[in-house]
Amino acid sequence: MDQRRPDAAPTARLGALATLPVFFRLTGKPVLLAGGGDGAAWKAELLAATGAQVRVFAAEPGEKMRTAADEIANVEIIPRGWAASDMQGCALAIGDVESDDEAQRFRDAAHGAGVPVNVVDRPAFCDFQFGSIVERSPVVIGISTDGAAPVFGQEIRARIETILPQGLREWAKAAKAWRPSVMARHLDFRARRRFWERFTRRAMEQADVAPSEGDLTELLASIDTDATSAPTRGSVVLVGAGPGDPDLLTVKAVRALQSADVVLYDDLVSPRTVNAARREATRIAVGKRGYKPSCTQEDITALIVSLALEGKRVVRLKGGDPMIFGRAGEEIAGVLAAGIPLEIVPGVTAAAGAAASLGLSLTERETARRVQFITAHARNGRLPDDLAWAALTDPRATTVVYMGVKTLPLLVDRLLAEGLDPQTPAIVVERATWPDERRITGTILELPEKVAEAHPAGPCLVLIGAALGGIRLPLDRPRS
């Protein structure tokens, strides 16, 4: 018979699993821990946190272990080495041992007593491994890379830490505490499910507000009234997607995307950013090239409102910051007029993204006392003629022009005519913060010609002002 351990094997519904994540209740159960070093002390603390009776076998326990035993009631040091007979009746055996030889004996002894075993740092001798933990107990998340790279596991853990609010713990406790009251209602399956869906939604949306009895009453009442009234309304979140790099999404933006039913996004939003949405969320491109051949602002607003009125959680993902040249005003008015709850999550505007990647401060104490964001694109597509020319020719200003490439030659002519110094430094940044970001630099006088030669096709910002005199970061530094 072939004695080799078969590899993890995919099934019709699951990819191959290197290990099975299981969550083991240890309260009151004895666990054997062999070894008294610092690593073992940490394991003792971890196991004790689950309520296990931790029996530490160590002839010479280190200081950390002695402290752990002093401070934690359910950690006990037995001041001698482990013996096979100590394994009897233990739920788990963990050995921080000296050699492969001892590891082998430890494992055999544990198996002889029918106890699952872990030998620290010797995966070949382990039945189970310890993962990295994200703790919002009773919500506990374990992360395993099957020993591939602990640092990788720690980074994954750090990411999960940032997106899960601390307050989830209180909501999970409330779920446990409220379960009997919900059961006592004898709701049918669908109503019960609706209750827990609404509970979950509230928990995710206001995780950092502690749940109260008032929440329970309200949620139960909302289920009672459902029988007679129309389905609940959805909600809308306007979310700033940042200038391109998906890592520039805010934590709040990721949370909104993670609880979305539908995501409507512009051309300017990168596919990786859209992919931060919940897997089940419907994604609709509503940019100039998406949804319909001519997707007008009115169409988009109407679509947002109708989806929310169907009860959907709608995320409207807008490039940069939603409140800067994003026609957010029209969407906000439409949503509020329909009586739909609205939230707005700010984002990194293109100017901030460009400044960061250029390594240039938009303000400088002497040379740039004012920053102004303008658009050089009027409704009719031409250069607006009512721009504040005195402000734009202020030698101590930094001007950032959105949607300004088409009309750049006209803008520059006019600025020079209004008295701007032709030697003023200026930069065009195309696709700021994207992997293929490009910069065109020069004086304001030279810039239109240089831009015409470079044929930028992506979104561009024009930055003008004395503060832009030097690019501090290398042009082709590696990017993630």
Nearest approach in angstroms of CB 263 to ligand SAH is 17
- Whose structure tokens read 């390594």? 359
CB of 463 to ligand SAH, least distance (A): 10
Residue number, 203 or 300, with CB nearest to ligand SAH:
300
- Residue placing its CB nearer to ligand SAH in the complex, 36 or 353: 353
Cα–Cα distance, 329 to 324 (Å, whole number): 10
| Cβ proximity to ligand SAH, 207 vs 276, nearer residue | 276
Nearer to ligand SAH, 41 or 462 (CB): 462
Specify the residue, 194 or 318, whose C-beta has the smaller distance to ligand SAH.
318
- Minimum separation from the CB atom of position 327 to ligand SAH (A): 9
Say which residue the tokens 């042009």 belong to.
475
- Cβ-based nearer residue to ligand SAH, 243 or 334: 243
Residue with tokens 């507000």, as numbered in its chain? 209
Nearest approach in angstroms of CB 196 to ligand SAH is: 37
Burial of 345 (0-12, 13-18, 19+ CB in 10 A): buried
User: What is the amino acid identity at position 134?
Assistant: V
What is the 3 state secondary structure string of the chain?
CCCCCCCCCCCCCCCCCCCCCCCCCCCCCEEEEECCCHHHHHHHHHHHHCCCEEEEECCCCCHHHHHHHHHCCCEEEECCCCCHHHHCCCCEEEECCCCHHHHHHHHHHHHHCCCCEEECCCHHHCCCCCCEEEEECCEEEEECCCCCCHHHHHHHHHHHHHHCCCCHHHHHHHHHHHHHHHHHCCCCHHHHHHHHHHHHHHHHHCCCCCCCHHHHHHHHHHHHHHCCCCCCCCEEEEEECECCCHHHCCHHHHHHHHCCCEEEECCCCCHHHHCCCCCCCEEEECCCCCCCCCCCHHHHHHHHHHHHHCCCEEEEEECECCCCCCCHHHHHHHHHHCCCCEEEECCCCHHHHHHHHHCCCCCECCCECEEEEEECCCCCCCCCCCCCHHHHCCCCEEEEEECCCCCHHHHHHHHHHCCCCCCCEEEEEECCCCCCCEEEEEECCCHHHHHHHHCCCCCEEEEECHHHCCCCCCCCCCCC
Q: Which two structure tokens, joined as six digits, stand for 436? A: 């293929």
Min dist. Cβ of residue 347 to ligand SAH (A): 7
Indicate the residue whose CB is closest to ligand SAH: 320
CB of 217 to ligand SAH, least distance (A): 41
Considering the complex, state which of residue 35 and residue 320 has its C-beta at the smaller distance from ligand SAH. 320
Find the shortest distance in angstroms from Cβ 244 to ligand SAH. Answer: 4
Q: What are phi and psi of 188, to 5 degrees?
A: -75, 170
On whether the CB atoms of residues 236 and 342 are closer than 8 A, the answer is yes
Q: How far is the CB of 192 from ligand SAH (least distance, A)?
A: 42
Closest to ligand SAH by CB, 32 vs 238, is: 238
Provide the binding-site residues for ligand SAH, judged by CB under 6 A: 243-244, 268, 318-321, 324-326, 349-350, 353, 402-403, 429, 431-434, 459-461
**Do you know the residue count of the chain?**
480
As annotated, the active-site residues are: 266, 288
Least separation in angstroms between CB 469 and ligand SAH: 20
Of 19 and 375, which CB lies nearer to ligand SAH in the complex structure? 375
